Amino acid sequence: MQEYSEKIESAEALKVLEEVRIEVFGKKGVLAEQFAKMKSVPNEEKKEFAKNLNIQKAKLTALFDKKKTELIKHESILMMKEGAIDVTLFNGINEAGSLHPINETMNKMIDYFVSMNFSIEEGPLIEDDFHNFEALNLPDFHPARDMQDTFFFNDKKLLRTHTSPVQIRTMMSQKPPIRMICPGTVFRRDFDITHTPMFHQIEGLVVEEEGKVSFSHLKYILEDFLKFMFGDVEVRFRPSFFPFTEPSTEVDISCIFCKGEGCRVCSHTGWLEVLGAGMVDINVFKAVGYENVSGYAFGMGIERIAMLIHQIPDLRSMFDGDVRLLEQFR
Ligand code: PHE
């Protein structure tokens, strides 16, 4: 039994002590084994044998309990030391914050359009069907509603899937001429390397008396804007479709990484798609009660543009909250 006393004595951690406990006091432990031998001890020796064994057991138990108390104390002090925060310690961190790349890019966009005399409008994030779809020429069962994976609430409300409902709200609360942008948060049921359920868009809308604005105005301002954002790039307008504009266009810039040569980022096309635009569809004007007007609208994702400008490979890193990303923008 001396051997086991030593084992208990020399245990340096609760984990080790627990192993010794099983070995000594466990169901199949040394003590149990000794007690089992009682059966084969001759009757006249039984008393002495049991007495002896009980003394040994008591000694070991006392030793064990003492050791356990000791180790608990020791280990909790260690734990407290490790996790301790010394509030008096100056850790040398004295760093200024920085704008998030999304805000920085958004601010630059806003600067441009404000300089072009656009007003900044806002709308609710929780929208209704009328503003998000119906008034934008996306009636119920319109197949183009599939383009938007919507978060719906029970009461028919929804999280806006784009900033376009702000066009409707602005037209209904103001009179033309209108010259507005709306930067803001939008939501879609999407999550992968290029999509997050929450992201940002900036919307633009210009409405004038009929005939005063045309597609060439749209082309001019977008080209000028994209050169402001990206420097010396080529700008390309491709025919496209949006229910709320007619004609519609998607706008590309020449790839800023390979200068149009073709690379992985531009899928070897030499072009990067950056925004959608078009002349406001007559049905949108009807929905808001406008007559004898013409206008253009455009919309784009802010993350996409920020990622291109800063060469950020994974959209999700924008929302991880890792300060190491922000440190690069100080
Ligand atoms: N709302 C469109 C989208 O979310 C973008 C857009 C806005 C296109 C305005 C044309 C005009 O994809």
Give me the pLDDT at residue 156, please. 82
C-beta of 249 in contact with ligand 1 (< 6 A): no
Give me the pLDDT at residue 2, please. 87
Average pLDDT over residues 249-256: 96
Mutate to test the pocket of ligand 1, among 161, 164, 188, 296 (most ligand atoms within 8 A of CB): 164
> What's the CA-to-centroid distance between 135 and ligand 1, angstroms?
14
> What's the CA-to-centroid distance between 217 and ligand 1, angstroms?
17
Q: What is the number of the ligand 1 atom nearest to the C-alpha of 162? A: 4
Q: Is 208 exposed, middle or buried (0-12, 13-18, 19+ CB in 10 A)?
A: middle
Give me the pLDDT at residue 103, please. 94
Give me the pLDDT at residue 144, please. 67
Give me the pLDDT at residue 148, please. 62
Checking if the pLDDT of 56 tops 70, the result is yes
Give me the pLDDT at residue 149, please. 85
Tell me what the pLDDT averaged over the chain comes to.
92
Contacts of 193 (CB under 8 A, 6+ apart): 314, 315, 316
Average pLDDT over residues 168-179: 97
C-beta of 301 in contact with ligand 1 (< 6 A): no
**What's the pTM?**
0.72
Residue of the nearest CA to atom 4 in ligand 1? 162
Give me the pLDDT at residue 147, please. 61
pLDDT digits (tens, 9 = 90+) for 117-146: 999 999 999 999 999 999 999 988 887 676
Average pLDDT over residues 52-74: 94
Checking if the pLDDT of 11 tops 90, the result is yes
pLDDT digits (tens, 9 = 90+) for 188-244: 988 887 789 999 999 999 999 999 999 999 999 999 999 999 999 999 999 999 999
Give 42 or 88, the one with higher predicted confidence.
Answer: 42
CATH 3.30.930.10 in the chain, residue ranges: 101-329
C-beta of 298 in contact with ligand 1 (< 6 A): yes
pLDDT digits (tens, 9 = 90+) for 65-108: 999 999 999 999 988 888 887 777 777 777 777 889 999 999 99
Contact 274, 109 (CB under 8 A): no
At residue 63 the predicted structure's pLDDT band, cuts being 50, 70 and 90, is: very high
CA-to-CA dists, residue 82 to 11, 77, 91, 324, angstroms: 21, 9, 17, 25
CA-to-CA dists, residue 127 to 28, 58, 122, 237, 280, angstroms: 69, 75, 12, 31, 21
The CATH class, in words, for 101-329 is alpha beta
Contact 280, 291 (CB under 8 A): no
Checking if the pLDDT of 180 tops 90, the result is yes
Checking if the pLDDT of 265 tops 90, the result is no
At residue 183 the predicted structure's pLDDT band, cuts being 50, 70 and 90, is: very high
Residue 27 token pair: 């169901």
pLDDT digits (tens, 9 = 90+) for 297-314: 999 999 999 999 998 878
